[in-house]
Amino acid sequence: MTKFSIEMLPAKHGDALWIEYADGDRTRRISIDGGPIQAYEAFEACMARLPDDDKRVELLVISHVDTDHIEGMIRMMARPRGSWPISPADIWFNGYRHIGPRDDLGGREGEMISALIHARVDQSWNKAFHGEAVVVEAGTALPQVTLAGGMTLTLLSPDREKLDRLAVKWKDNLKKFTMTVGDLEEAWRQLAALPRFKLDQESTLGSEDIGEALRELLKGQDGSDANGSSIAFLARCNGKSCLFLADAHIDLINESLAKLVAKEGRQLKVDAVKVSHHGSKNNLDARFFDLVDAKHYLISTNGDQHEHPDKPAMEAIIAGSKRKPVLWFNYRSDHTLPYEEQSKLAGARFTTRYPREGKEGIVIRL
Ligand SMILES: [Zn+2]
C-alpha cells in the first residue's frame, strides 16, 4: 500500500490533485481543487474509482476562486448531494462569510460555490477551523490540523492581508454579473442558468463546449490577488511530506516557512513540492530554496493560456535545489517536453518524469 501518493490529474492549465495515504490497511484521501470545467471528465473519472462502500474523503480543499481550480468543484457539487461521487468530511474554502466585512466581498464563482456548500454540506464547511476562515493569523503559530489516519497539515497561506486584497477584487467582479455579496439565492439562480455545471443532474460524464463569449466572462478574476488568497499547506504523514502551494504568493509562503524553520532546524526538509502557480516565474524566489530542501518538484499544467511553466522558474529549481531534483509533469506538451531533452544532456543536474506517450496525468508515490 502506498504510504503517501499524489496524483496530478490532467487538469489542463489548472490544478486537480488527488492524494492518498495509508492508515494501517485503510486508504484515506484528500482532494485539492477540481481544475477548469474542460478537465472535469478526468476529475469525475478519478472519483468514480472509489469503491461503493467507501466514498469518504478526509478533506476537500478549494484553494482559491480562480476558474482553473474551482470550476470542476462547482460542477461536482452541482450534482444532487445524494449522488456526489465522494463524501468529504471537511471542506476548506474561504467564502464571503470568512473574509471580512460582508459588504466588501464577492466573486461570482466564489458566490456559486458558497451557495452550493451552504445548501449541501454547510456543517462541513471549514470544520477544522470551527466554520471560520482558513487563515494564518498574524502573531500566532501556524494552524496545525491532524486528519484521521495521522495526516498532519500545517497551514502556510493565506493570511488576513491576502484575503482583504481578494475582497476588493471580488466586489468588482460581482458588479459585472449583477450579483450582490452574500445573495446565495441569486448565485444559485445564475449557477442554474449555466448548463456546463449541470445543476441537480445525476449523470455528469461527457463534456460539452463552452461558448467563447462565456469563456470570456469567466476570466473576471484578477489572478494576482486571487492567487494570493490560496490555501497552501505542508502535509506530513507516514514519515513523508509535501508542500502543496496552490497558486500562493511566495512572500507569504516564505514568511510561514521561516516560522517552521525557526522551530524545526536550519532548513525544512520535505520529499516534494507542488510548485506554486503551475511553475510561474512570479511565484518562486531564491529565498524559498534557502528555507526548503526538497527532492521532487511537481508541475501541474499543459502550458495552455499562460505558457507555464516558465523557464526561469525551472532553472531556479535546478540551481536552487540542494539535492539533484526530479521534475514531475502531468502533461507531455511543447511547454514541458524541452526539459526531458535537457535532462539527458551530459552533466545535467536534474531528472524528469512524464506521463507515458499518449497519456495525461501522473502519480507520484513518496
Ligand atoms: Zn492556477
What is residue 339's predicted lDDT score, i.e. its pLDDT?
94
* Type of residue numbered 84: W
**Between residues 33 and 265, which one has the greater pLDDT?**
33
Of residues 276 and 197, which shows the higher confidence score?
A: 276
Question: CB of 162 within 8 A of CB of 249?
Answer: yes
Indicate which CATH number applies to the domain containing 306: 3.60.15.10
| pLDDT for the residue 218 | 30
Q: Which residues pair with 152 in a beta bridge?
A: 146, 236
> How far, in Å, is the centroid of ligand 1 from the Cα of 265?
31
Per-residue confidence (pLDDT) for residue 100, from 0 to 100? 59
Q: Which of 218, 360, 228 is nearest to 283 (CA)?
A: 228
Cα(18)–Cα(331) distance, rounded to whole angstroms?
16
26 Cα: distance to centroid of ligand 1 (angstroms): 31
Ligand 1 midpoint to CA 317 (Å): 19
* CA 73 – ligand 1 centroid, Å: 14
- Crossing angle of helices 160-176 and 108-121, in 10° steps, is 100
**How far away, in angstroms, is 39 Cα from ligand 1 center?**
13
Q: Tell me the CA–centroid distance for residue 81 and ligand 1, in Å.
A: 27
| CA 67 to ligand 1 center in whole angstroms | 8
Cα 146 to averaged position of ligand 1 atoms, centre (Å): 26
CA dist., res. 13 & res. 230, Å (int): 16
Counting every residue written for the chain, the total comes to 366
User: 8 alpha carbon to ligand 1 midpoint, in Å?
Assistant: 13
Ligand 1 mean position to 93 CA, how many Å? 15
C-alpha 306 – ligand 1 centre gap (Å): 10
Grid cell of 251 as nine digits: 512572500
Residue 168 burial (C-beta neighbours within 10 Å; 0-12, 13-18, 19+):
middle
Strand partners, 328: 298, 353
Q: How do residues 106-116 score in pLDDT, each as one tens digit?
A: 478 888 888 89
Q: Which domain holds residue 249?
A: 4-365
Ligand 1 centroid vs 63 CA: distance in angstroms?
9
Distance 284 CA to ligand 1 centre (A): 14
Q: Report the pLDDT value the prediction gives residue 101, as an integer from 0 to 100.
A: 55
Sheet holding 268-274, edge to edge: 144-147, 151-157, 232-237, 240-244, 268-274, 292-299, 326-329, 351-353
Q: What dihedral angle (degrees, nearest 10) is formed by the CA atoms of 343, 250, 333, 39? A: 140
Angle at CA of residue 91, ends 18 and 10, nearest 5°: 25
151 against 176, higher pLDDT: 151
pLDDT at 193: 87
Q: Is the pLDDT higher at 220 or at 64?
A: 64
pLDDT at residue 278 greater than cutoff 90:
yes
Strand duo 26-32 + 17-23: pairing: antiparallel
Give the distance (Å) from ligand 1 centre to CA of residue 34: 11
Interval between CA 14 and ligand 1 midpoint (Å): 5
Pairing of strands 4-8, 17-23: antiparallel
Q: CB-hemisphere CA count at 13 Å for 214?
A: 13
Q: Determine which of 42-46, 58-62, 75-79, 281-285 has the lowest per-residue pLDDT on average.
A: 281-285
pLDDT of residue 202: 63
**What's the CA-to-centroid distance between 264 and ligand 1, angstroms?**
30
pLDDT at 201: 77
Name the E strands within the chain. Answer: 4-8, 17-23, 26-32, 56-57, 59-61, 87-88, 91-92, 144-147, 151-157, 232-237, 240-244, 268-274, 292-299, 326-329, 351-353, 362-365
What's the pLDDT tens digit per position in 117-161? Answer: 988 888 999 999 999 999 999 999 999 999 999 999 999 999 999
Among residues of the chain, what percentage have pLDDT more than 90? 61
> What does the DSSP 8-state code read for residue 8?
E
Ligand 1: distance of its center to the CA of 230 in Å?
10
Taking each helix axis as running N to C, give the angle between helix 67-78 and helix 40-48, from 0 to 180 degrees, rounded to the nearest 10. 50
Look at residue 212 in the predicted model and tell me its pLDDT: 44
Number of structural domains found in the chain: 1
User: What is the Å distance from ligand 1's center to 24 Cα?
Assistant: 34
208 CA → ligand 1 middle, Å: 22
Instruction: List pLDDT tens digits, range 187-235.
Output: 888 888 888 888 887 644 433 333 443 334 333 233 568 888 999 999 9
User: Which candidate, 278, 340, 324, places its Cα nearest to that of 303?
Assistant: 278
Element (H, E) at 192: helix 184-192
Pairing relation of β-strands 268-274 and 240-244?
A: parallel
Ligand 1 centroid to Cα of residue 308, in Å, is: 10
Q: How far is the CA of 260 from the centre of ligand 1 (A)?
A: 25
CA of 268 to the centre of ligand 1 (A): 25
Q: Who wins on pLDDT, 263 or 258?
A: 258
CA of 68 to the centre of ligand 1 (A): 5
